[in-house]
Structure 1
Amino acid sequence: MAKLDITRPEVILFLNEAYEKEKRLRTYWVSKHNEKIQLAATLTREPTNYYEQDVIKQTMIEGLATITRDHKTSVRNRKKVPIRDARSIPGIETLRHENSLINLGVGTAKEDPRLARPDNDLSPDPLMRPVEAKTKKIFFKPKPHFGKEKYLHVRAKILPENRYYLPECASWEYGWRLCDSKMVGKAMFGRNWVLHKTLQNRVGPTRDPDHYKSPVLASFPKCSE
């Protein structure tokens, strides 16, 4: 992994936000456990009557686990690449592509180059769609008009289906890709709920408009004989 260039302005802004967050969390932790810290610092606790041998014994017992962990045999086994069961199952190479995001019609390699992979690549597909370059610039600009909070605020206005390939939680299943439904939109020859709209308007029920009244029929005088 390449070292972080701390001379770049966007990296400096990121580190400042990280330092402020860490300082805020440390201050909160100290204020939360202030009573326990004072109790431990005053040394007014009841004596435990531990001997020096008891302390050494407990330290040795806790250190026995590191002997097995740091043994040369254990180190050699940890460096070995584990054998994946998926590679030994017949037909597993084609299984991923049959259920990939491209075959499902959710994403394309043109929009997301991460989806274009060879057949022997068994790594999982990405969960999130690529972020626009215009939106990324908000994250690296100074606060208060930009920064991490502004970036998250802008991303929250985007529909989940435009941010992720598939629903990541149960609440997204309701209304997911609703724009693809043929039932969206008002029917051209559908019924109009006049009574429903009238009862739920701001002023309540009103009288019928003048053009709703019955037409006045003109009467002609009878001809006299």
Structure 2
Amino acid sequence: MAKLDITRPEIILFLNEAYEKEKRTRSYWVSKHTAQIQCAATLDREPTNYYEEDVIKHTMIEGMATITRDHKVASRNRRKVPIRDVKKIPGIESLRHEHSIIDLGVGNAEEDPRLARPDTDLSLDPVMRPVDPKAKKIFLKPKPHFGREKYLHVRARILPENRYYLPECVNWDHGWRLCDTKMLGKAEYGRDWVLQKTLRNRVGMTRDPDHYKPPALVTYTKCTE
């Protein structure tokens, strides 16, 4: 809502009338309720001389009946057998049940003995799969042909799903265990070495396919016969 321009004469007249109306309304209300205002402002009731302890004691006495009633109801409910929908209530020993790496089917206890743990063991599952012993021996050989850089180069050539049990970063979500899918095929718009395949073809160079030709346009011709 735009603000009023109080410098305009019509706005000044409107505000003056509004203020006068508000003043008359307030004066009428005060004159109408003068007796009630005076009664509320004057302390004419008898003093009781109550202390804070008396008020607290009165509240506690009134609540004793409720405490006694609730105690009887609670004692009767404690003797009842609780109604349960399951035979066993899962506890701490069931946290890893059907949620471990072996249950998910991405690991094997024979290949990695670290996974052979009871369900009561709540330690974290290993993140990385066991390293090939041949790759570990790269650290023990001298440089420059072996060492840390050679080890990282060898490990980089292994697929991430063969190094880790689960994706550890976001860019692994694209293509994670892609070899498991049955929808593998040639990319529709991928690179195609047409010239190389044509030159190395066993039958030699061939003509362009029919769909390479320009479309035939239908035109009207004048009949000469």
Query: Normalising TM by the smaller chain, what interval?
Result: 0.3 to 0.5
Select the structure of larger CA radius of gyration. Answer: 2
| TM-score of the two chains, using structure 2 as the length reference | 0.45
Higher RCO by CA contacts (8 Å cutoff, separation 6 or greater): 1
